[in-house]
Amino acid sequence: MNSQTTLDSDAEQYFETLKMQMAASIAFDAKLVGVFSGGAWLADRLKQELDGEHEVGYIDVSFYRDDLSTAGLKPVVRSTQIPFSVDGAHVVIVDDVLFTGRSIRAAINTLFDYGRPASIQLAVLVDRGGRELPIAADYIGEALIVPADTMLALEKREDGKLTLISEPWPKR
Amino acid sequence: MLSKKNLQLNERGELHHLLAIEGLPRKILERILDTAESFVGVNEREVKVVPLLRGKSIFNVFFENSTRTRTTFEIAAKRLSADVVSLDVARSSTSKGESILDTIANLSAMHADMFVVRHAASGAPYLIAQNVAPHVHVINAGDGRHEHPTQGLLDVFTIRRYKKDFSNLTVAIVGDILHSRVARSQIHALTTLGVPELRVIGPQTLLPTEIERLGVRVFTSLEAGLKGVDVVTMLRLQNERMTGALLPSASEYFSRYGLTPQKLALAKPDAIVLHPGPMNRGVEIDSAVADGKQSVILPQVTYGIAVRMAVMAILAGATR
Amino acid sequence: MKIAIRGGRVIDPSTGVDRISDVFIAAGKIAAIGAPPNDWHANKEVNAAGLVVAPGLVDLAVHVKRGTLATELAAAVAGGVTSIVCPPDTDPVLDEPGLVDMLRMRADAQHSAHVYPLGALTKALGGEQLAELSKLAQAGCIGFSQADAPMIDTQALWRAMQYAATFGYTLWLRAEDFHLAKDGSAHDGEVSSRLGLNGIPSFAETVAIARITELMQGVNVKCHISKISTARGVQMIRDAKARGLKLTSDVSIHQLHLTEVDIGHFNSNFRLSPPLRTGRDRDALIEGVRDGTINAVVSDHTPRPLEAKQAPFGEAAPGATAVELLLSLTLRLAESAKFSLPDALAMITSRAAAAAGIPGGGLAVGAVADVCVFDAGAYRHITAASLKSAGKNTPFIGYELPGVVRATIAAGHLAYEHVA
């Protein structure tokens, strides 16, 4: 039984919505920092398609997570790359799905270990609710209601198009 | 009848203790190296600390002194935000006749989450791993002449950084193979990662019996053994080896097995030179080589921190 | 006490008897086999239907330390062993006649297995000054030994042989060159190289055998080489016997089952002296036992306190507790190496007694009644709790082994009876 469902046309549509919101209000030189993996693809796409001079960085929040004892270290840890000075910068953290808020908390902590930004905003493709921390997104592609036992994640198809995958949470 | 269960892995096949490289699957070695790659980035930042092991207690228990190795583990633990305590047991309890297990039981009572153990007797970390609570992790920081797995890992990490791919390398390990835990760990790491030709070079007195069964080619001539190699690891020669019948003198050893620029020229032009440190200049290695452009001895030290951070992070994330 | 053992399979390797029969014991002796003696009334009947009735086992190497005599003798008879040869590395070492007297007195008081002490060959087993061999022999020592202590000085060994030969005493010697074995804890080979353990090479044994046999060539002395462990050693002993030297030898049962590979992850229960060697050595040792080159199989019973084994492999004390496993391990060997039951029992009864020159090991009418009654088809699970010995250190913890002793009779006394 394949319990995986894809919502591919939707992802592109949410992206357009997200992009339009951001185009209207982010700083001309705002830095886009994508959270691996989905957020990184989004950050790359946004840099291509948004006007302005947006440098891009990537964050892997594995080293800043608070669930090591229960979830273990992720099998693949990517290198965080912040190729610009964070000090005084306007930064937009970009992620695919906003859920508990813990990843974003970890991403903010990571950024602060690189410097002191002037401001941090948050852009997400999907806000699925279920927050466990007082975190809210500034730009949202779409707000969705997703059952708690279902994982929602962004994937990149071979043709470069973005696809949302929903499936049961993987067991450890 | 004998339990062949790999003591190092939990029931999900995750690394729970790091006691030896021998017996570890290639995937686990590669995961450690890949994770270490990410920690290299952390170590190059201005803020070199991540909060990953906040609240965890790591005890460095060194039954045999080694300020250098102990320090690298301390730095790694601190950069992961763990609470780290280092005990020089060599100078305290065992001299009072306390057994290893008593020492460990005492420290366990202080709620240790991880032990980093150095001991002069081969196999001591196994004894400890078999006697700690299920949630406690043990890292072997060198046991007798058996293994020094984090050193082996940082060696192959360094090799991978410079040579990218293991599948067409020729690697030579030179010197006192007999007494070297570094050699054993490196041999197992390199064979597991698929290095096609691994050589050990030394006089017969410093080569263990049947060492070729570990998958190495044995050379007794440094000149012959260095021909065409991509990587040379020089082992430290302890002074006490010169007192018995193993070797006549340091200078005679250097004349036969010391790595000089002339001898290094027999290796490939882009060959790199490793040494686990501390070096004996003029005994196993000439200063011109140690400080030369082919030497990667200092990068080894740098990467050693990242590799140890990776090992600690992966172990701390494994549960039983 | 009069005991009748009814309906068992009586096996006496010394005479070749192997038949279902009754055995009658009176006044400490075998009174009759088959029909009862005249006017027979038993105080005790042992139903041996389906069981084997064999001579009590003769174990040529049982180390007994101070304070453990009672437990270790209890362990022996629980394992069907009725005669033990005790090396002189007791604490204190058996280098004075008074100490031998005391040991024998204490042993007699147990009414258990017979204890045959080996006297110290040199004072304090120091390897230099000869002990008072004649006085020790008069006190009951059946031979002289350095136990596991070395005799480094070859001239001292030669003189000891000459002196022993003068009075017809037997030297019981380990074959292990001191310097070659020094600091070693495992066979010098692939496993020790992998584990980084100091090796004891095979030639540590063969060099020592050559030393002993070359000295014997010029001295008409009887020697017994204890615990040989190598294929080449077996061949050298075979050759020396063919040359007519008065040489006997034994092997530890562990060497016939285990090899260096079994050490696994530094399991200190496998730290033995001599060390476990290769599969090739093990096979040659079994053949040496089969063709009589090796006269006897011994337990090399060496109980150790827990803390002596809870140490890294190289620092753990060598040896294993084994006297109560000797029968089971021999039965298992009979299965795996295809020995008949009488042939297997011979190695731990008649052949052992003959090699040591001590009574026992047979069931002849009129002989001292040392008898072991066991169920050859039953299995036992070896656990620390199941062992009577003070030492719980054995490589065979967790094993299912054949052979359950039902009753042991030593000198006509019921020394052990299995309670189901």
Q: What is the ipTM of this complex?
A: 0.93
* Cβ neighbours of C404 (radius 10 Å): 18
Interface test with B, best of C188, C193, C270 (most B CBs within 10 A): C193
State chain C's mean pLDDT as an integer.
Answer: 96
Using the predicted structure, report yes or no on whether residue B2 has a pLDDT greater than 50: no
How large a percentage of chain B has pLDDT more than 70?
Answer: 96
Helix axes of C231-242 and C203-218: crossing angle, nearest 10 degrees: 10
How large a percentage of chain A has pLDDT more than 70?
Answer: 94
Angstrom CA distances, C231 to B156, B157, C164, C255, C404, stand at 41, 44, 29, 11, 32
How large a percentage of chain C has pLDDT more than 70?
Answer: 100
- Please, which residues have CB within 8 angstroms of residue C300's CB and are 6 or more apart in sequence? C61, C63, C227, C252, C253, C254, C272, C319, C320, C322
Question: How high is the pLDDT of residue A1?
Answer: 40
Tell me, yes or no, if C312 comes closer than 8 A to chain B by beta carbon.
yes
Question: How high is the pLDDT of residue C370?
Answer: 98
Ordered by start, the domain boundaries in chain C are: 56-356
**For range C67-86, the mean pLDDT:** 96
Ordered by start, the domain boundaries in chain A are: 13-66+77-148
**For range B60-87, the mean pLDDT:** 94
Question: C234 with C228: CB under 8 angstroms?
Answer: yes
State chain B's mean pLDDT as an integer.
Answer: 93
- Could you tell me the fold of the domain covering C56-356? TIM Barrel (3.20.20)
Question: How high is the pLDDT of residue A159?
Answer: 84
Residue in A with minimal Cα distance to B47: A113
**For range B287-299, the mean pLDDT:** 97
Question: What digits encode the pLDDT tens for the residues B136-146?
Answer: 999 999 999 99
Give, as one character, the DSSP assignment of residue A64.
G
- Please, which residues have CB within 8 angstroms of residue A10's CB and are 6 or more apart in sequence? A142, A164
- Could you tell me the fold of the domain covering A13-66+77-148? Rossmann fold (3.40.50)
The CATH code of domain B26-147+303-316 reads 3.40.50.1370
List, as ranges, residues 264-283 from C with C-beta within 8 Å of B: 264-268
Question: C234 with C285: CB under 8 angstroms?
Answer: yes
Question: How high is the pLDDT of residue C50?
Answer: 97
Q: What is the 3-state secondary structure (H, E, C) of C165-187?
A: HHHCCEEEEECCCHHHHCCCCEE
Using the predicted structure, report yes or no on whether residue A153 has a pLDDT greater than 50: yes
Question: C318 with C404: CB under 8 angstroms?
Answer: no
Tell me, yes or no, if B211 comes closer than 8 A to chain C by beta carbon.
yes
Using the predicted structure, report yes or no on whether residue B227 has a pLDDT greater than 90: yes
> Two tokens at C128?
């230099």
Decide if B26-147+303-316 and B149-301 have a common fold. Answer: yes
Question: What digits encode the pLDDT tens for the residues B40-60?
Answer: 999 998 889 999 999 999 999
Among A62, A71, A75, whose Cβ lies nearest the Cβ of B31? A75
Using the predicted structure, report yes or no on whether residue A69 has a pLDDT greater than 90: no
Residue with token string 């030593």: C410
Ordered by start, the domain boundaries in chain B are: 26-147+303-316, 149-301
Question: What digits encode the pLDDT tens for the residues C122-148?
Answer: 999 999 999 999 999 999 999 999 999
* B290 half-sphere exposure, CB direction, 13 A CA radius: 17
Interface test with B, best of C266, C280, C394, C401 (most B CBs within 10 A): C266
> Two tokens at C336?
């795996």
Span B149-301 CATH architecture:
3-Layer(aba) Sandwich (3.40)
Residue in A with minimal Cα distance to B135: A69
Question: How high is the pLDDT of residue A166?
Answer: 85
**Sorting pLDDT into bands at 50, 70 and 90, what band is B1?**
very low
- Please, which residues have CB within 8 angstroms of residue B11's CB and are 6 or more apart in sequence? B320
**For range C152-166, the mean pLDDT:** 97
H or E element, residue A108: helix A102-112
Question: How high is the pLDDT of residue B3?
Answer: 39
State the catalytic residues of C.
300
Question: How high is the pLDDT of residue B229?
Answer: 98
Q: Which chains touch B (3 or more CB pairs under 8 A)?
A: A, C
